[in-house]
Structure 1
Amino acid sequence: MTRPTLVLLHGWGFSPSVWAPLRAALPEVEIHAPALPGHGELAAGDALGDPVATCEAIRAQLPPTLSRPVWAGWSLGGLIALELARRMPDTRGLMLLNSTPRFAAAPDWTHALPAAELADFQLALDGPRRRLHRRLAMLCARGTPEAASLAADLVSELEGTPATDQGLAAGLACLMERDQRACWQSSPGPVGACLAEGDALVPPAVAQDLRRLRPDARLAVLPGGHAQWWQDPAPVAAFINEFVAALEWSATHDGGG
């Protein structure tokens, strides 16, 4: 039996370097952290608009020998993780970290962001990049005990590895339009979601909707905001470790590998 390998997918505007605090808190877990198209140093930002091209771009950054990965996505990365889990038959598990299968509210999906709030990001995207970074960082930091310092750190992170205009536009379109509820409901293998009580981008009440769609899901709602794990990665790391341990236990008792 092999230990599960975790593939971490970052959020909109960020790059794989954002995972540094969480990776340090998971020393026993093998982790890969590819870049989303148009983010960090990866070009072809418009690929985010094509699920097939996005999955190909992600898989191209992973070892060819990698099998049965656990996909884990934060924010926009959760939508991509859901798509990968749907398209990759060897998926071992799936985790959403402060993410949701659908970011935009709908009559049958009320625990989500109003369309007007997402549209405001389009206006910000058309303005100075610095202003967009500050707004995104402040929303990610809201709900955390040290929100001001976290926002400043996240601005530095966003400016350190900027996304392309194409990457941001395609990623925002995913957040506004993509509906992955069917992927969550039918994803092979165990699924889990770790949410935050003060999250300004993913309402924690979506946990009840996730449970309704997938009664067997492992769910947790922790204190803090959208990027609380940047300041205090231990609770999210504990959730991940428990999820991975459950996969190992299941493989042992089912006789799988």
Structure 2
Amino acid sequence: MAITNAFISSSIIPRSKLSSSHSQISLFESITHISLIRDGFGFRQNKYLLRASIDSTKTVGSYSSSDQEADSVPMPIVLIDQDSDSDATIVQLSFGDRLGALIDTMKALKDLGLDVAKGTVTTEGSVIQTKFFITHLGTARKVEDPDMLERIRLTIINNLLKYHPESSERLAMGEAFGIKAPEKKLDVDIATHIHVKADGPKRSLLCIETADRPGLLLEIIKIMADINVNVESAEIDTEGLVAKDTFHVNYRGAALNSSLSQVLINCLRYYLRRPETDEDSY
């Protein structure tokens, strides 16, 4: 059953049932816990209620002040996976137990010229994970362009900040766009960790952990392109203030040798520690 122009309410599911097993709900199939109502749709887990208005796809959350005091702000995580599916880019979003079927996010992705081929909501313990399988609209091909991948990431984060403003205190983007900036800032000189590992004879695995900021993915890709390192695929993981990215890379169809690996590490470390560096300082 497609969730379009319908208003849906999930049954109130006790925490014991949600945490006892991995329960999965497809956004595009019949859902046993969902029934039609007239005044909107809700997803409730414990005290949190997710709603959409009758004439828009905006999703807003409401909870009492006592709930705010009792619940700490969970870790927001946005994961873009290019490895697990050969035909689609997988985007996974979680924010504790505060997210459900994100119709507003699906609309924002479609506004980028993308198609959400499939979507699922999975509950693991107390965390709700929403997963989208994304392709280019019309071509049904996965997203390869780094600029579009970064636009996807920032679109999802901006939506999270818009509809869950409390997330701003746990996100690096909250510094510029959120209501409340993170209290703890990362020292980028300390936070940056870069490793190159063997990944077979024809490619290497590049692992990067650094302070998140807008345009980070494009910056990393550009640095690699400048030294002719090719990116085959990637997993882009935004965890609050930190970006944890892995890239399958090669140099002219072969794995990186130790010398080139060190050059790559040095280049990335230099620029990732200096987000204010402009192109004229190369």
Q: Report if TM-score (shorter chain) is over 0.5.
A: no
Structure with greater proportional helix content: 1
Larger Rg: 1 or 2?
2
The two structures have a TM-score, normalised by structure 2, of 0.22
Which has a greater percent of strand? 2
